[in-house]
Amino acid sequence: QAVVTQEPSLTVSPGGTVILTCASSTGAVTSGHSPHWFQQKPGQAPRTLIFDTSNKHSWTPARFSGSLLGGKAALTLSGAQPEDEAEYYCLLSYGGAYVVFGRGTKLTVL
């Protein structure tokens, strides 16, 4: 089974920019992996931010964006806000409906 790797933790200053990445043990991440990004705050259900690499939902703050970067999926947060402190998970698809979540990145805004 594929393993999806994320940075365990990152810190960003308020107003700063940070890039979270999502790598696959099977090789480069492509649009075919349909990368998704989720935000989860303590005690809450996950909330989807990005789907299919770079698409945003109506509720996704404009400061979040998704892309492919250096063989990985990437989530860029530009202009971090205190409320962005959360755990972030990526999800990659490996054919059919088989998907694997990354272990998550704990983002601290400090």
Does 45 interact with another protein (rule: CB under 8 A)? yes
Does 36 interact with another protein (rule: CB under 8 A)? yes
Residues 55-84, mask of contacts with another protein (x by CB under 8 A): --x---------------------------
Calculate the alpha carbon distances from 15 to 47, 57, 98 in Å.
Answer: 22, 22, 37
Alpha-carbon distance of 5 to 67, in angstroms, equals 16
CA angle 48, 107, 35 (to 5 degrees): 35
Q: Please identify which residue in 21, 84, 102, 107 interacts with another protein, judged by CB under 8 A.
A: 102
> Which residues make up the interface to another protein (CB under 8 A)?
1, 36, 38, 40, 45-48, 51, 57, 87, 89, 91, 96-104
